[in-house]
Amino acid sequence: MGEFNILLSGIPNVLIVDLGLILLFGIIFGRLAERVKIPAVTGYLVAGLILGPITRIINLETLESYHLIGDVALGFIAFQVGNELWFGKLKKSGMKIIIITIVQAVATTSLVILALLPFVDLPIALVLGAIAAATAPAPIMMIIKKYRTKGELTDTILPVVGLDDAVGVIIFGVLLSIGVSLSGSSEGISYLELLKEPLIEIGISVLIGLAIGYASGIAIKNIEKNSERQENNLGVICISIFLTTGAAIAFGGSPILTPMIAGTAVTNLINKETFIFEEETIRFFIPPLMVAFFTIAGAQLQFDVLLTVGIVGLVYIVSRTVGKMSGAYVGAVMAKSGNAVRKYLGVSLLPQSGVAIGLSVSAYSAFDSVNHEYALVIKNIILASVLVFALTGPVLVKIAFWRTNEFGTTEVQSEEYKKNELAYEGGYQ
């Protein structure tokens, strides 16, 4: 493949050529995956693996140039997660969601730490345990939107994934600070100092998200119903996502939590008919963005990392899987949720990708000057686990929704479907 890269190197717009290949391979393998009853997102990841580590058609240096696509795609995904968090529907189950989210996150973190302690030093175990709590919202949201799932599992997993980021940020911030402290970089750190950074990050995210989300909700609510309605709606949505994601990165907020809060603000300011129209607008706009995002993510995965993590990586993957499944089950039992949630929520929370990589990068930066070996171990284990969970997670999520009979239609919404949505019990007023 070296000749291929040399041939393309003479083209000034090589990044655009690569992006075209990314979209082409992603669409082809996404369709092939669906033919064999596998989620399209898994096909996109496989396409990325072929373009990246398998053939080296696209190298890691080139992929770094596409980080903007990842930021924007995660912004859209997070905004859509927030769109599903309507308070009128959540007020009956709000405490249940909080219980399930906290229990599964704490259980996963604790189990991973305990499982890893015989193999690695405590600072490494603490940080890996914290990162294990993170769940990737992207593949979950894509499957929910693709198959129009509806039911108790869908209603539970959406807010859990939304709150999981906030809980994960706090757990990670505290355990990372403790881990760095135990590595000998600082002395006498108080509990207040440990909580300070993650709480500031969440506070910034809430303020930015609410401000931009409120303004966007008012704007969408007042868009006239004419021939330009969809274009105007899309314009407001894009502005909201770009501003929240960019401002979060610039001011130290969470680039996932901030647009999610904006989406929550918007959905609680509009009525059901406007919500359906907004969802349709987003659905017709973002498919190429999602194809590019997941294919690029697949191209960034590296097989050789699997060879470096050994037994520690295997223990991390197994303990995280057991932690998510058992923690979600215990949380669902405590919250008195139905059998569908008890049995299948845990397996639906296994996907892990961008969020985990982002946290591992933060951990690498924090440990690199203190203990470079610790930094490398954390980075390699997370990259290896992401490779495993990114490929298997979407398949398991699809199986979970299939087992709970929550699949809807994959076709474009019909008038009858819209009427049913408008009449949905507990819907918008």
pLDDT digits (tens, 9 = 90+) for 275-325: 778 777 887 778 888 888 888 877 877 776 666 678 888 999 999 999 999
Dump pLDDT digits (tens) for 313-336.
899 999 999 999 999 999 999 988
Residue 194 one-letter amino acid: L
Q: pLDDT at position 418, please?
A: 43
Q: What integer is the mean pLDDT of 255-260?
A: 83
Q: pLDDT at position 413, please?
A: 41
Least confident of 174-183, 327-336, 406-415: 406-415
66 vs 167: CA distance, rounded Å: 28
Q: How confident is the model at residue 249 (pLDDT cuts 50, 70, 90)?
A: confident
Q: What integer is the mean pLDDT of 340-366?
A: 81
133 burial (CB, 10 Å; 0-12 / 13-18 / 19+) is buried
| pLDDT exceeds 60 at position 70 | yes
365 vs 134: CA distance, rounded Å: 19
Average pLDDT, the chain: 80
| pLDDT exceeds 90 at position 25 | yes
| pLDDT exceeds 90 at position 65 | no
Q: What integer is the mean pLDDT of 100-128?
A: 92
| pLDDT exceeds 50 at position 102 | yes
| pLDDT exceeds 50 at position 426 | no
Q: pLDDT at position 411, please?
A: 41
Q: What integer is the mean pLDDT of 212-237?
A: 87
Q: What integer is the mean pLDDT of 219-243?
A: 86
How many CB atoms neighbour CB 339 within 10 A? 10
Which residue's entry shows tokens 């050789």? 304
Q: pLDDT at position 195, please?
A: 65
Q: pLDDT at position 184, please?
A: 62
Q: How far is CA 110 from the centre of its chain?
A: 22
Q: pLDDT at position 191, please?
A: 57
| pLDDT exceeds 50 at position 396 | yes
Q: What integer is the mean pLDDT of 48-53?
A: 87
| Percent residues over pLDDT 70 in the chain | 86
Q: pLDDT at position 193, please?
A: 63
| pLDDT exceeds 60 at position 2 | no
**Among candidate residues 237, 282, 285, 298, the one with its CA nearest the CA of residue 262:** 237
Domains of the chain in start order, with CATH, are: 68-286+303-422 (1.20.1530.20)
If one compares 311 and 178, the residue with the highest pLDDT of the two is 311
Q: pLDDT at position 358, please?
A: 67
If one compares 412 and 372, the residue with the highest pLDDT of the two is 372
Q: How confident is the model at residue 417 (pLDDT cuts 50, 70, 90)?
A: very low
How would you write 22-58 as a 3-class SS string? HHHHHHHHHHHHHHCCCCHHHHHHHHHHHHHHHCCCC
Which residue's entry shows tokens 């193999």? 119
| pLDDT exceeds 60 at position 264 | yes
Q: pLDDT at position 328, please?
A: 92
Contacting residues for 6 by C-beta, under 8 A, at least 6 apart: none
Q: pLDDT at position 53, please?
A: 83
266 vs 273: CA distance, rounded Å: 13
How would you write the chain as a 3-class SS string? CHHHHHHHHCCCCHHHHHHHHHHHHHHHHHHHHHHCCCCHHHHHHHHHHHHHHHCCCCCHHHHHCCHHHHHHHHHHHHHHHHHCCCHHHHCCCHHHHHHHHHHHHHHHHHHHHHHHCCCCCHHHHHHHHHHHCCCCHHHHHHHHHHHCCCCHHHHHHHHHHHHHHHHHHHHHHHHHHHHHHHCCCCCCCCHHHHHHHHHHHHHHHHHHHHHHHHHHHHHHHCCCCCCCHHHHHHHHHHHHHHHHHHHHHHHCCCCCHHHHHHHHHHHCCCCHHHHHHHHHHHHHHCHHHHHHHHHHHHHHCCHHHHHHHHHHHHHHHHHHHHHHHHHHHHHHHHCCCCHHHHHHHHHHCCCCCHHHHHHHHHHHHHHHCCCHHHHHHHHHHHHHHHHHHHHHHHHHHHHHHHHCCCCCCCCCCCHHHHHHHHCCCCCCC
Count CA within 13 A, CB hemisphere, residue 52: 26
Q: What integer is the mean pLDDT of 340-369?
A: 80
Q: pLDDT at position 313, please?
A: 87
Q: pLDDT at position 4, please?
A: 47
